[in-house]
Amino acid sequence: SAVISQKPSRDICQRGTSLTIQCQVDSQVTMMFWYRQQPGQSLTLIATANQGSEATYESGFVIDKFPISRPNLTFSTLTVSNMSPEDSSIYLCSLEVTGGSGDTQYFGPGTRLTVL
């Protein structure tokens, strides 16, 4: 499986500011995903990011709040805009690896965000 890194690993931010999270992969992948995990909760898909096209957002998530870039096959960013305490979560990127028997998603280490 590919090696996935995220920056920053954690951050504490003030209300109203924005934070950009980076996801770097050591091999080229077509599909990358961004998830949010609110405290004590499960993972929820924010959007799917394919290189060369606009990200596809899930219900409840909008581009103005969570703009995503996918400039190449090894990199993506997620910005959390105009943050509020409710945005405090772990944000994880993942990539899809196609194997002999199908696809599996592997996850980055996550970015732990606290908004004051």
Partner 1 sequence: AQKVTQAQTEISVVEKEDVTLDCVYETRDTTYYLFWYKQPPSGELVFLIRRNSFDEQNEISGRYSWNFQKSTSSFNFTITASQVVDSAVYFCALSEAGDDKIIFGKGTRLHILP
Q: How far is the CB of 104 from partner 1 (least distance, A)?
A: 5
75 binds partner 1, rule: CB under 8 A? no
Q: How many other C-beta atoms can be found within 10 angstroms of the C-beta atom of residue 83? A: 21
Contact window for partner 1 (CB under 8 A) among 15-23, 61-69, 75-83, 88-96: 88-96
Residue 63 has phi, psi (to 5 degrees) of -65, -35
* Binder of partner 1 out of 11, 22, 43, 75 (CB under 8 A): 43
Q: Which of 7, 11, 19, 8 is nearest to 79 (CA)?
A: 19
Q: How many other C-beta atoms can be found within 10 angstroms of the C-beta atom of residue 36? A: 21
110 binds partner 1, rule: CB under 8 A? yes
d(C-alpha 53, C-alpha 13), whole Å: 30
For partner 1, the binding residues (CB under 8 A) are 1, 31, 33, 41-45, 48, 58, 90, 92, 94, 96, 101-110, 112
